[in-house]
C-alpha cells in the first residue's frame, strides 16, 4: 500500500513507525517549522524528525486551501492517508483523494472527548477509563465512523504525560491492526458514533492551571494529574505561588476557609478546599526544580513551625 502520514507531535511518532511496517510511507505531512523555546529558534516537529531519520519525504503546507497543495497530495497516489494529531481539519476535497479515504487515530473512546485535548480532559473529569479509536474521517471534527477501538483503565495516580505515552503505544498497535486487516482485504465493520454522550475536549489554556481552593479537593487533584507535564497546575500556598506536580485529595471535614494550610509535614501540605483537603506532595518554587513537600518546608520555616 502507498501510505501518506499526517501528524505533528510526539503522540504521532509511534503510529508513524507502525505505518512503515505495514506499507510504503511515500510522504509525511506535518505542521510548518515554528520558533520555540526562550531563544525562539526554529524547531521541527517530532514527526518531521522521525520522517527525516527514515528517509521519508516531508511536506509542510500551511493548509490545503490552495489547489497546488491538493495536487501535490494527489500526485503521491496514496491508497490511504493516516492522520494522527496533525493539527489541521482536512476539507472534503482532501478526504476524497486517497483510494481508501483517510483514517484518524484519536485518543479517546468516541464520541466522548472529541477535540484537541482528550487525554487531559478525561483525567480532569475523573474518568475511570479511556482508549484509542481508529476512525474513517469525515468533514466534521472527530465525527466519523469508528473502525477499531481499544479500551484501557486510567490509573488512580496516572498523570496526563504518563497516559499520553501509554495511549501513543496503544494507538500504534490499533493502527497496525487496522492496516493488517486492510492489507489482507478483510472488511472492517465501522460503527456510527451515537449522538448521545458527545463531549468536547477543548484545547488546554495556561489560565486554567491555577487551582481554585473553593473547588472540591477531588477536582483539584484530578486537575493536578491532568495538567502534568503541561501546563502544570499552580497554586498559592501561604503567600507563595508554586507549581504543583503531585497531590492527592483527602476526605477531611475541616470547616476552615478554603486556601488555609491545615497541616504541613513530611507527608505533604494539606490545604483546605471547598470540600475536603488537597495534600500537596511534590511542588516547584519559581526558578527551582520539583521537590518533595518535606524539602519545601525546609525553606518555609513559617509553615514548618505552624504544622
Which H helix or E strand runs over 52? helix 46-53
Contacts of 223 (CB under 8 A, 6+ apart): 124, 208, 209, 211, 233
Verify cis geometry, omega within 30 degrees of 0, for the bond prior to 111. yes
Does the annotation list 211 as a binding residue?
A: no
Neighbours of 304 (CB within 10 A): 14
Residues 150 and 130: their CA atoms lie apart, in Å, by 9
For the chain, count helices (H), then strands (E). 9, 17
- Joined grid coordinates for residue 61: 503546507
Decide: residue 238, CB within 10 A, 0-12 exposed, 13-18 middle, 19+ buried: middle
Decide: residue 192, CB within 10 A, 0-12 exposed, 13-18 middle, 19+ buried: exposed
Verify cis geometry, omega within 30 degrees of 0, for the bond prior to 231. yes
Does the annotation list 111 as a binding residue?
A: yes
Contact 254, 271 (CB under 8 A): no
Please name which of 64, 67, 49 lies closest in space to residue 7, comparing C-alpha atoms.
Answer: 49
Does the annotation list 108 as a binding residue?
A: yes
Residues 65 and 30: their CA atoms lie apart, in Å, by 16
Report strand pairing: 146-153 vs 240-250: unpaired
Contact 18, 11 (CB under 8 A): no
Where is the binding site, in residues? 108-111
Binding positions for (6S)-5,6,7,8-tetrahydrofolate: 108-111
Amino acid at each position: 500500500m502507498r501510505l501518506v502520514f499526517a501528524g505533528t507531535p510526539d503522540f504521532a511518532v509511534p503510529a508513524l513507525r507502525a505505518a512503515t511496517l505495514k506499507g510504503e510511507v511515500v510522504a509525511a505531512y506535518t505542521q510548518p517549522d515554528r520558533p520555540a523555546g526562550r531563544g525562539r529558534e526554529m524547531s521541527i516537529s517530532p514527526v518531521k524528525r522521525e520522517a527525516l531519520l527514515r528517509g521519508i519525504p516531508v511536506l509542510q503546507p500551511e493548509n490545503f486551501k490552495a489547489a497546488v497543495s491538493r495536487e501535490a497530495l494527489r500526485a503521491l497516489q496514496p491508497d490511504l492517508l493516516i492522520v494522527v494529531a496533525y493539527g489541521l481539519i482536512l476539507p472534503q476535497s482532501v478526504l476524497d483523494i486517497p483510494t481508501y479515504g483517510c483514517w484518524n487515530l484519536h485518543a479517546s473512546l468516541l464520541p466522548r472527548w472529541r477535540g484537541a485535548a482528550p487525554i487531559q480532559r478525561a483525567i480532569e473529569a475523573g474518568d475511570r477509563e479511556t482508549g484509542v479509536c481508529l476512525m474513517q474521517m469525515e468533514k466534521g471534527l472527530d465525527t466519523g465512523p469508528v473502525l477499531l477501538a481499544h479500551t484501557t483503565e486510567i490509573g488512580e495516580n496516572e498523570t496526563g504525560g504518563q497516559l499520553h505515552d501509554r495511549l501513543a503505544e496503544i494507538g500504534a498497535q490499533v493502527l497496525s491492526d487496522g492496516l493488517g486487516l486492510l492489507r489482507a482485504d478483510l472488511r472492517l465493520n465501522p460503527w456510527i458514533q451515537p449522538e448521545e454522550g458527545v463531549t468536547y475536549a477543548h484545547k488546554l489554556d495556561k489560565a486554567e492551571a491555577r487551582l481554585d481552593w473553593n473547588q472540591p479537593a477531588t477536582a483539584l487533584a484530578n486537575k493536578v494529574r491532568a495538567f502534568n507535564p503541561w501546563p502544570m497546575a499552580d497554586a498559592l500556598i501561604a503567600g507563595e505561588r508554586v507549581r504543583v506536580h503531585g497531590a492527592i485529595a483527602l476526605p477531611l471535614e475541616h470547616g476552615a476557609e478554603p486556601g488555609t494550610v491545615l497541616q504541613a509535614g513530611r507527608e505533604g501540605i494539606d490545604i483546605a478546599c471547598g470540600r475536603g483537603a488537597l495534600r500537596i506532595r511534590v511542588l516547584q518554587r519559581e526558578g527551582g526544580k520539583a521537590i518533595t513537600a518535606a524539602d519545601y518546608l525546609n525553606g518555609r520555616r513559617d509553615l514548618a513551625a505552624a504544622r
